[in-house]
Amino acid sequence: MSQTPAYLETKSHYKILDGLRGVAAIIVVIFHVFEAYSGTRFKQIINHGYLAVDFFFLLSGFVVAYAYDDRWGKMTQWDFYKRRLIRLQPMVIMGSVIGAIFFYLQAGNFFPLVAATPVWKMLLVMLVGCTMIPLLPSMDIRGWQEMHPLNGPAWSLFFEYVANILYALFIRRFSKTALTILVLISAVLLVRYEIWGPQGDVIGGWTIDKTQLNIGFTRLLYPFFGGILLCRMGKLIHVKWAFTVCSLLLIIVLFIPRVGGEQQLWMNGLYESICIIFIFPLIVSIGAGAELTGNTAVKVCKFFGDISYPIYITHYPLIYWYTAWVVDNKVPMGYGMIWGAVLFVSSVAIAYACLKLYDEPVREWLRKRYLVKKKA
């Protein structure tokens, strides 16, 4: 009995896009560290760091289309789902477990429900979190009504899974014209919410209720399906120093302070609409249209790409702990940032350890177990 690879060989990666995913993930961690010192959505230190999630959705749509659009004659829907589960689910489980490990360290005035939560309930939430099934607010054990209260950022993975299912069921069959119409409608819905909505931003999406689900799907639809359309159009932009140019663009977009104030919500909504609809696709087009030169650049992008998902899905339990410590103890920013830097380094170390000691070995085992045909 011999074994041969089933159906598909892995395509080569867009190395710059991998690196940009890492840049965005690192900005998310820094954004969350500074968020402990932010008063409201109008006074964030790295104000638009949350838009990294919308950038991730766009990247995901682009990469999924690149990896699978031309392969449906060689695989079934279940083959696609297996591949996506093997890629994403191991770290979802690890994120839930890490959230459980740090949970009771977060007890205090800032998270009053933590100390009152029995161990059995916390473990139940952890197990449900491992399945990616979202929890209703009635099962909240923190006070923020998150669908994944042990690991908040997992909400975006829930929507990522929804997008992958929609792609496999319907969107992969869409003509370019039909997909363009869907993307335009999604863009209109995004602009409508951003400019005429109650917030002037897209913050939200992590709770199972009508308002938050509306935000979540509004954030998902245009970027993910826009990424698919961008890949199918093949309109890539070729520039020198593409990784540097794209990284700087991304940093500028995410670091720009909130535009307008509480009385001009539409101004920030317009800014975010421009970023999501035009600037993010521009960045992806540049990143996908260039080749890396030089071993150092290749190694940097590979490292950033490798840790991007692990750091995104494992860092937030540390943020819960850090935020509770800062707020409950009224920690001055100067002193708090020292420990914020420690948190950042720890997040990178934990992500890299999870990648090498758990994620890569587990995915390789699953690949051999479920994606390899046995042939006599």
Please write the tens of the pLDDT for every residue from 160-175: 999 999 999 999 999 9
What 8-state DSSP symbol labels residue 372? Answer: E
> Is pLDDT of 256 > 80?
yes
Which string of DSSP letters, residue by residue, matches 67-92?
Answer: HHGGGTTS--HHHHHHHHHHHHHHHH
Inter-residue contact 50 to 202 (CB < 8 Å)? yes
Q: For residues 301, 306, 309 and 315, what is the CA-based torsion angle, rounded to 10 degrees?
A: -100
Please write the tens of the pLDDT for every residue from 214-252: 999 999 999 999 999 999 999 899 999 999 999 999 999
Contacts of 179 (CB under 8 A, 6+ apart): 171, 225, 228, 229, 232
Q: What is the mean pLDDT of the chain?
A: 94
Q: pLDDT value at position 10?
A: 67
Q: pLDDT value at position 24?
A: 97
Q: What is the pTM of this model?
A: 0.95
In total, how many domains does the chain have?
Answer: 1
Q: Which domain holds residue 51?
A: 2-375
Residue 68 CA to residue 80 CA, distance in Å, equals 8
Please write the tens of the pLDDT for every residue from 132-145: 999 999 999 999 99
Geometric angle at alpha carbon 159, from 156 and 164, rounded to 5°: 125
Q: pLDDT value at position 5?
A: 45
Q: pLDDT value at position 373?
A: 66
Please write the tens of the pLDDT for every residue from 22-77: 999 999 999 999 999 987 888 888 899 999 999 999 999 999 999 999 999 989 99
Percent of the chain with pLDDT over 70: 96
SS3 301: helix
